[in-house]
Structures are given as structure tokens and as C-alpha cells.
Amino acid sequence: MNELIDERLFLENLALVRERITSACADCGRSPSEVRVLPITKTFPLGAAEYALRSGYPVVGENRVQEALSKMETAPPELQWELVGHLQSNKAKVAAGRFDRIQSVDSVKLLRRLNAAMESEGASQRILLQVNAGEDPAKFGVLPQEAEALLEEGLSLPCIEVEGLMTIAPFSSDPDVARRAFARLREVGNRLAESSGASLPELSMGMSGDLEAAVAEGSTLLRLGSAFFGDRVSH
């Protein structure tokens, strides 16, 4: 676990994040109300999620199932959790129904297993499809050209609700690399919405280092960890 910063410092970071979003929106003529923020609390104690909750962010993101489940055990019931990290299909059953939304769905097998687990609970699972929009070999997610088949499968399953797409940009010192990946995700989303007739309102893209590029390309959800809680030195 990383050490949790003081809540005062968190509030300062939050103000800086809000300024960055306002200014990024002003630069491209968007309204800051169209861009929501998901604080990513991975590697930090539960207190990080409690800071977020107290500041009006009741939904937080985690990247590991076990870490998230153990935080949930003692978390205030108002907190909601999304999974943003890779989910192996053999862990689908453990994760299904425990997260308000799973953003990292990237295979038919995982979709089917999540659906089966939810069917037996008589509920449904909200998800995003993770697309490797930057075609980065180091990233999870389906390639853009595979997204349509995955969406079709998702739309055919009764206990799966596909709400949109998620991507993680390739690491690069060149900000245009991230921007191109975000533009690609938006294009894929538009194309899929048109071909399937499904509404795919969520575009989860942009992290602490590249939120401006993501806002410029139409992000509806920024996933921000270090901008709120500081650098992570260990897992």
C-alpha cells in the first residue's frame, strides 16, 4: 500500500484537477458538466476512497479484484466501485455483481462468464468494452477491428448492459500518441453506435498525464489516480 496523503492536500489536488478540466473544456468548447471523473484509488488505503466520497465522488475505480473486494468489506455503503484493471475470465464469477461497472471487458469468453454469473443472481452487470485503440502490444483490450464482434456478443446477452468503451493510451513522451488513440476510440464508438443501433454514451479515456488530450477528443469519463493521491511508489 502507498501512504495516503493528508486530506487537505487531496482537496488542493482536486481543485487543480477541476482547473485542468475547466481549461481543457474551454479550449475545445465543451462544457465541464459533460466530463465526469472517476478517482482511481488502487494501491492506496480505503481512506482515499473516503476522501473522494466526502468530496462528492461516490464512485471510485480499482484495478485489482482482490484489493477492491477487501476494501469493500469495511467501506461506507454509499461508496460504489468500478473495476478498471484487467479481468481474467476465470475470475469473472468473483467479480460479477460486486462492481457497479466493469470497464475492462475484452473477450467473448469473459462476457459469457459474466453473463452466466449474473443470470444466476437474477441481476445484470453494467460494463464497458476495453479497446486497445492505440494498438499497443503492452495493453489489454480488443483491437478496433474486433470491437464490433465483441459488441454484438455483449448486446445479445440478457444480463449484460454495454454502456460504452474504455481505452488506455500507449505510454509515450509524445502527447500526440495519446491523442490519436483517444480520437480512434471516439471513431470506433461512433461507428459501432451507428452499425448496431445501440446507444454507447460512455467514452472512458484519459488519465492524470493525458486528460487534456482525452477531453479534446470527447472523453466522458476521466480515470484519475496520481493527480488526486500522488505518485504510486509500489503496489
Ligand X SMILES: *Cc1c(COP(=O)(O)O)cnc(C)c1O
With a CB cutoff of 8 Å and minimum separation 6, the contacts of 86 are 63, 104, 106, 140
For residues 52 and 41, give the distance between their C-alpha atoms in angstroms, rounded to a whole number. Answer: 9
Nearer to ligand X, 134 or 225 (CB): 225
Query: Least distance from C-beta 76 to ligand X, angstroms?
Result: 22
Residues 6+ apart with CB under 8 A from 108: 149, 150, 153
| 206 vs 218 by CB, closer to ligand X | 206
- Pick 158 or 173: Cβ nearer ligand X: 173
| Cα–Cα dist 37/64, whole Å | 19
Residue 122, SS3 per DSSP:
coil
Amino acid making up residue 12: E
Classify the phi-psi angles of 166: left when phi > 0, otherwise alpha if psi is within -120 to 50, otherwise beta.
beta
In the numeric block, which cell numbers belong to residue 143? 483491437
Site residues (vs ligand X, CB under 6 A): 40, 42, 63, 84-85, 168, 207-209, 223-227
Smallest separation (angstroms) from ligand X to the CB of 167: 9
> In this structure, what C-alpha cell is assigned to residue 139?
495493453
Nearer to ligand X, 63 or 219 (CB): 63
CB of 211 to ligand X, least distance (A): 8
Rounded to a whole number of angstroms, the minimum distance from the CB of residue 138 to ligand X is 13
225 DSSP 8-state letter: S
Question: Of 42 and 113, which CB lies nearer to ligand X in the complex structure?
Answer: 42
The least CB distance from residue 64 to ligand X, in Å, is 9
